[in-house]
Structure 1
Amino acid sequence: MSKSGSIKDGEKGPYDPVPTAEKGNDEIKLEAKMSLLNGVTVIVGSIIGSGIFVSPTGVLKYTGSVNASLLVWTASGIYSMIGAYCYAELGCMIKKSGADYAYIMETFGPFLAFIRLWVECMIVRPCSQAIVALTFSVYVLKPIFPDCTPPDESVRMLAVCCICILAFINCWDVKWATRVQDIFTYAKLLALFIIIFTGAYQLCTGHTQYFTFDNSNTEVTSIALSFYSGLFAYNGWNYLNFIIEELKDPVRNLPKAIGISCTLVTVVYVFTNMAFYTTLSPVEVLGSEAVAVTYANRLFGVMAWTIPVFVALSTFGAVNGILLTSSRLFYAGACEGQMPEILTMIQISRLTPAPAVICMALLSMVYLCSSNIFRLINYVGFATWLSIGVSVLCLPWLRWSQPNLLRPIKVNLIFPFFYILATLFVTIVPMYASPIETGYGCLMIFSSIPVYLVFISWKNKPKFFQKRVGAVTQCLQKMMVVVGPQKAKVQNTQ
């Protein structure tokens, strides 16, 4: 994390930033290329991924009945919308990439910000991306193995291929990445609307026998665990905040994109679950590895293959959304000096944070060593909602400590207080019901402390260590042709 040894602006070497005349720009930095529509598709595309196709099983497992599970899906959507509303104020007030990392840095200082950065970069984002990539693989391979489980090695290898292809796209051009996000968001919405319309037809023809509260589980711990699966499906509502520096007119477009996206996703999720239960019994949902495939096989006949294809497109787009936004978190952390300097750097000709994209892809592949999706969801759930709760706490804290900050959007304080109380419920209660998973989650969080003390807090590191880190940084710069964001020196040729 030392900055010594990298190639600096003004040094002799072939990797100095040299602007081209056609760019008409002498600055190497991330550019604001994303419109309101791009912002909506980033959020919708990041939220709608594997969750709606994996989580119905997890929510039903802990609620016990169809009607109770639908209530959890609705409550999870409302909870997410309240969190997104709070983030709209924070995002318009602190216009920095990195979202909650930047908000905690501004509010509580570098130590808590690093813990958030560590949790998000080392656990939540790569683990979430691994889950979505595994779901992509299962849905692609399920038609090939209709009567048995796809081979575990094949599932993981296909997930690796998915991540590698999208890493290349994100390293090549931001416009390519946003175009992929747009196209695959439309594909996943089409798939879900097909399911919703067929479900509506089933409802109209009287298929309502499974919509009951029979066998509902009223234990508080089970309800909290059901929210882990439900909220996992909504995870991604804050992703646009991570790339706010690349969003055009963020004060206008950020709250609009959040409002449109969260409302759309909540409606789609609840109606999609209703559609599933018009045809599939709770036993069938609990026994299915791919709920949408089972639903299509029951209703669509020879056209049943279309749903696995659309679901694969959905999850492929979600992997792209996570990769697009997560790499900017690595970038933001490195700009604050809390991650290796190489992650601050931008590819000279493509103007993309290539090192951060590659780092995110590699970490995701590490989590592919495990293919137990529901265990991964529990790890992610505990770390995610604890961290986001601390981020929302920034809002009332800044109202008290810095009342004169410019706030284009001002949220009623009832909303952050409600959100924080709900976060305490979904993080503390599951400690009793699932102590092993939450214990691992706590260990992962606490592992950030020695890392902070050694690499961030300890300033006077030995010179040989600084030189070695600098040499590695310079080598990686040359390999990827990247430099830190800076003003390029333009020689006056006149």
Structure 2
Amino acid sequence: MDETKDSSNLYKVSPSDMEVRQRAAGDSPEKTDHQVELDTSKMTLKKEIGLLSGVAFVAGSIIGSGIFITPQGVLRNTGSVGLCMVVWSTGAVLSLLGSLTFTELTSVTRTSGGEYAVLMKTFGPIPAFMFAWSIGIARNPASRAVQCLTFAEYLSPFLELCGSPDLPKKLIAVCLLVLLAITTSYSVRLSARIQIFFTAAKLGALIVIIIGGLVKIGQGTLSELPTGFDGSVTVISNIALAYYSIMFAYGGWNNVNFLIEEVKNPQRNGPLSSIIGVSIVGVVYILTNISYLAVLTRDEMYQSTAVAQTWGNRVLGPASWIIPICVMMSVYGSANGGIGTSSRIQFAAARDGNWWELLSYISVKRYTPMPAIVCQVLIAIFMVLQGTITSLITFLSFTSWVFYCACALCCIVLRFKVKDDPKRIKVPIFIPIFFMLWCLFLVVAPIVDNPRVELLYAAAFVVGGLVIYFPLIHFNLKPKWFEKMEMYLQLLMEVAPSTYMDSY
């Protein structure tokens, strides 16, 4: 096929490709001129997410592997049942305050991309690119890789694999990533329906744990619950690390903001999705921990690598096989929501000219950001095959709180920078201020009390992104072969440039 592309998005195509190109451009198939201009004004993301699916994206993205593996770490760092429950409760409040802060920020930016869009509007392209680089290119794909490897870990016993072979697990994880890429690229509506189903399934699994715990409490089994605040830890760094574990479990509280251009009636459904989703998860997490602490002793929780499985062996007996299935459903739903939301970071950055242009294109048939989704999945597959990503996630988690703190500051700055926006949803000013101070505590406390070399690596990785930014983005130094590759990739995926859509 002989096709050429110039700067005005004009294509010369063979007659056999004319109908697809003309329909994408909004022209009739009867046209015979081989030079077709894509009408990019019609290439926008479609509003397919209502309140129910919005709540599902929030709750489904939050509830992943965290609640099944982190409770023992939180208990160890807090030292007591009472302080452990305080941390879980305040973690829900912190997530809710962050969600409300992002509700106001999204009402001002009104575009997909979450933190990226906020930083771009407030501080400009360089801080926004540093976020897209460190979070969109490294941490999020790494998180997807860990989720899919976790799925493979729980699936392998059902496949009766001898020992613990790494290769079959990695192949399972890769296949799962490919499946997720297909479903999230095919349709936002399909991805939303998948999210609703798996969110209901994982909530059902946690309800089983909650009811089982309440039954045991009714039978007089209280285990660690009566110990209260005995043994509470007072070391600040330990408490900060407990919150790191907590907020890993609550991660995803701001996910609906990444999809805001695809939310129906976003002024209503955006904040409601976040508030309802976070509130549901907070209640479920607290009750789930009560169930764990009522059934298991402190030593049993410390020694467990998967506290939910240990709980299942104790309470469910022969039916404990239900737990790994529930974990797999939970992880799949979280990965589905994660790919759907975090791919919008790259999409938004590229649409601003702040990243690879092809990643801003959307499918002319499906109206999904297919190149951004495929890019994230390919990076995640690479990380799965490498198999050395846990330390990467550990030190990049630090950068997440740095950017959350920066976004809370953006909320305050935009109050003065954009004063008369009639579509702004104002939250009480103490909410972003308190959220910013809390994030600052989580950033500074580990550095002051127990500095680690991983934090230096995190800072070096973020700043190192500028080596990519200035030559390839700012000065746009691209070889000719790269532009030709872009053209063929565009034709292969049948994608076209997208345009902004005011969500509100």
TM-score normalized with structure 2 length: 0.89
Change (3 A) 1:371 1:142: farther
Question: Which has the larger displacement, 385-394 or 58-67?
Answer: 58-67
- Superposition deviation, residue 21 in structure 1: 9.7
- Superposition deviation, residue 394 in structure 1: 0.8
Which residue in 2 is equivalent to 1:451? 468
8 Å contact from structure 1 (residues 379, 437) kept in 2 = yes
Which residue in 2 is equivalent to 1:173? 187
- Superposition deviation, residue 102 in structure 1: 0.8
CA distance in 1, matches of 2:399, 2:462: 8
CA distance in 1, matches of 2:5, 2:70: 47
In structure 2, list runs of 5 or more residues that go unmatched. 29-39
Equivalent residue letter for 2:177: I
CA distance in 2, matches of 1:380, 1:155: 24
CA distance in 2, matches of 1:37, 1:8: 41
Q: Is 1:381 the equivalent of 2:397?
A: yes
Question: Which has the larger displacement, 442-451 or 9-18?
Answer: 9-18
- Superposition deviation, residue 72 in structure 1: 1.5
Equivalent residue letter for 2:463: F
- Of 89, 92, 96, which aligns to 1:81? 96
- Of 139, 151, 170, which aligns to 1:156? 170
Q: Is 1:409 the equivalent of 2:422?
A: no
Q: Is 1:124 the equivalent of 2:142?
A: no
Higher relative contact order (CA 8 A, sep 6+): 1
- Superposition deviation, residue 458 in structure 1: 2.4
CA distance in 1, matches of 2:328, 2:141: 19
8 Å contact from structure 1 (residues 58, 374) kept in 2 = no
Which residue in 2 is equivalent to 1:428? 444
Q: Is 1:290 the equivalent of 2:290?
A: no
8 Å contact from structure 2 (residues 383, 389) kept in 1 = no
- Of 310, 315, 332, which aligns to 2:331? 315
CA distance in 2, matches of 1:486, 1:275: 49
Equivalent residue letter for 2:495: V
Per-residue CA deviation, residues 211-257 of structure 1 (Å, 9 max, x unaligned), is 23344322111111111111011110111111100001100111111
Which residue in 2 is equivalent to 1:207? 221
Which residue in 1 is equivalent to 2:239? 223
SS in 1 for 2:422: coil
Per-residue CA deviation, residues 357-398 of structure 1 (Å, 9 max, x unaligned), is 111111122332565786455224201111111111111101
CA distance in 1, matches of 2:237, 2:411: 29
Which residue in 2 is equivalent to 1:54? 69
Equivalent residue letter for 1:315: V
Which residue in 1 is equivalent to 2:32? none
- Superposition deviation, residue 131 in structure 1: 2.4
Change (3 A) 1:233 1:345: same
CA distance in 1, matches of 2:463, 2:42: 39
Question: Which has the larger displacement, 152-161 or 48-57?
Answer: 152-161
CA RMSD of aligned residues (A): 2.5
Change (3 A) 1:6 1:245: farther
Aligned residues: 477
Per-residue CA deviation, residues 293-320 of structure 1 (Å, 9 max, x unaligned), is 1111111122211121122111101100
TM-score normalized with structure 1 length: 0.90
Change (3 A) 1:29 1:407: closer
- Superposition deviation, residue 26 in structure 1: 8.1
Per-residue CA deviation, residues 72-98 of structure 1 (Å, 9 max, x unaligned), is 211111111100011111112221011
Listed as ranges, the matches of 1:232-251 within 5 Å are 232-251=248-267
8 Å contact from structure 1 (residues 7, 474) kept in 2 = no
Which residue in 2 is equivalent to 1:393? 409
Change (3 A) 1:446 1:482: same
Equivalent residue letter for 1:472: M
Question: Which has the larger displacement, 398-407 or 159-168?
Answer: 398-407
Which residue in 2 is equivalent to 1:478? 491
Question: Which has the larger displacement, 433-442 or 72-81?
Answer: 433-442
Listed as ranges, the matches of 1:180-191 within 5 Å are 180-191=194-205
Q: Is 1:326 the equivalent of 2:337?
A: no
Change (3 A) 1:235 1:200: same
Change (3 A) 1:230 1:95: same
Equivalent residue letter for 1:245: E
Q: Is 1:196 the equivalent of 2:210?
A: yes
Change (3 A) 1:458 1:350: same
Change (3 A) 1:261 1:168: same
Change (3 A) 1:150 1:281: farther
CA distance in 2, matches of 1:283, 1:173: 47
SS in 2 for 1:11: strand
Percent identity of the aligned residues? 35
Listed as ranges, the matches of 1:9-28 within 5 Å are 9-13=9-13, 14=17, 16=21, 18-19=23-24, 27-28=42-43
Question: Which has the larger displacement, 62-71 or 121-130?
Answer: 62-71
8 Å contact from structure 1 (residues 64, 216) kept in 2 = yes
Question: Which has the larger displacement, 400-409 or 384-393?
Answer: 400-409
8 Å contact from structure 1 (residues 142, 149) kept in 2 = no
In structure 1, list runs of 5 or more residues that go unmatched. 488-494
Change (3 A) 1:7 1:290: farther
Equivalent residue letter for 1:470: E
- Superposition deviation, residue 275 in structure 1: 0.9
Change (3 A) 1:406 1:142: farther
8 Å contact from structure 2 (residues 223, 296) kept in 1 = no
